[in-house]
Amino acid sequence: MSFLSATLDRVQPSATIAVTNKARELKAAGRDVIGLGAGEPDFDTPDNIKEAAKAAIDAGKTKYTAVDGIPELKEAICAKFKRDNGLDYAPAQISVGTGGKQILYNALMATLNPGDEVVIPAPYWVSYPDMVKLAGGTPVFIEAGVDQNFKITPDQLDAAITDKTKWMIFNSPSNPTGAGYTADEVKGLTDVLLKHPQVWVMTDDMYEHLTYDNYVFATPAQVEPQLTERTLTCNGVSKAYAMTGWRIGYAGGPEKLIAAMRKIQSQSTSNPCSISQWAAVEALNGTQDFIPENNRTFKRRRDLVLKMLREIDGMTCPTPEGAFYVYPSIHGLIGKTSAAGTLIDSDEAFATALLEEKGVAVVFGAAFGLSPAFRISYATSDEALKEACTRIQEFCANLT
């Protein structure tokens, strides 16, 4: 009898965390490494949010709370959904968990049965397929390549849906590509979903506030109110408020689903950290002024990276509408050999050789389900980005 659960055979460890750890190890061993793997803002959490957390500690808000969130946070989330998305959720339709990750996981655990299919556009955030498998479901992928700006079409969605489809996961702006769907493009997809009443939408709006140029964010339930009764609108404070370590994510959805998610959470982690919840109340209710400021910095960095990568022959890089990632396609570099003699026969080989030969850590595209490509996170300093892109240029110039 095996000690370890057979469930483990169904899942992979997170490739993005693996790259971050590898870069950290090399750095600790004295190597000059620039890490472009991390999926978190390099900004500090704003002071007003930190003060709210300190005040919560001093006021003794350090005990268990209601399993899926304190009433004050649920009220703040309802107000946020109304303010930003025009969505009317009541507190009983809100769930708060330990990061957006737990919210998505709870929802899949609460709904999937063996044989249930979940449609996932690729490239995708690394955790979706493994969470689906952990919950006993089957991921079904729709590929959206660089030629379609990493966005799926309504026809592709229609073709992927079967009578076993339970969910479609929708993430815009996307990790790993930064691609953001316009309201019209979302409407194209929601029109298809209207024809398939058995399919629910799990929309991951984690990067809602990190958008650039004239892009206007739109979420499915806002674009198509008829879908609200089968939509789980997921979001969180991790990215927009630089609060990745605080672990607060949330969702709005039908009360029956929210209650089922609460049941899962009540027998696993119980409430998310009480202090973090009070910090999140301040994040959502307090000033939002630093968001456009941070976005100006992110946009400058995005443009810097795009300009330098576009100077490389064999690389194609569309302009992302949001998030803090770019996802260069490297079709033109596959089959070449690096200066140290490594055959670049895959994007994993590309990323490994780039790390070993030039000390630049990126995540290879296969981890996100679309190759050959790699992901750069530009949530780091301009200096580090310039140096990293110069090294990538040199690495590629030396490919033969």
Ligand X SMILES: Cc1ncc(COP(=O)(O)O)c(C=O)c1O
Contact positions toward ligand X, by CB under 6 A? 39, 99-101, 125, 171, 175, 204, 206, 236, 238, 244, 249
DSSP state of 163: T
Smallest gap from residue 249 Cβ to ligand X (A): 4
Q: Helix, strand or coil for residue 70?
A: coil
Smallest gap from residue 277 Cβ to ligand X (A): 13
Tokens of 324: 């803090």
| Alpha-carbon gap, residue 132 to 139, rounded angstroms | 6
294: nearest Cα among 323, 327, 321, 318: 323
Angle at 179 between CA 174 and CA 183, to 5 degrees: 100
Smallest gap from residue 128 Cβ to ligand X (A): 8
Question: Between the CA of residue 61 and those of 39, 45, 57, 273, 279, what are the distances in Å?
Answer: 30, 20, 6, 10, 11
Which is closer to ligand X, CB of 272 or CB of 328?
272
Smallest gap from residue 322 Cβ to ligand X (A): 11
Smallest gap from residue 98 Cβ to ligand X (A): 8
At which residue do the structure tokens 């941070």 appear?
A: 294
| Alpha-carbon gap, residue 81 to 60, rounded angstroms | 29
Which is closer to ligand X, CB of 101 or CB of 166?
101
Which is closer to ligand X, CB of 219 or CB of 338?
219
Tokens of 341: 């003699």
Which is closer to ligand X, CB of 14 or CB of 111?
14
Which is closer to ligand X, CB of 125 or CB of 167?
125
Burial of 63 (0-12, 13-18, 19+ CB in 10 A): exposed
Which is closer to ligand X, CB of 301 or CB of 358?
301
Tell me the residue nearest to ligand X as measured from the CB.
Answer: 99
Which is closer to ligand X, CB of 97 or CB of 188?
97
Smallest gap from residue 238 Cβ to ligand X (A): 4
Smallest gap from residue 72 Cβ to ligand X (A): 20
Residues 6+ apart with CB under 8 A from 350: 330, 333, 334, 344, 364, 372, 374
Tokens of 63: 């005990």
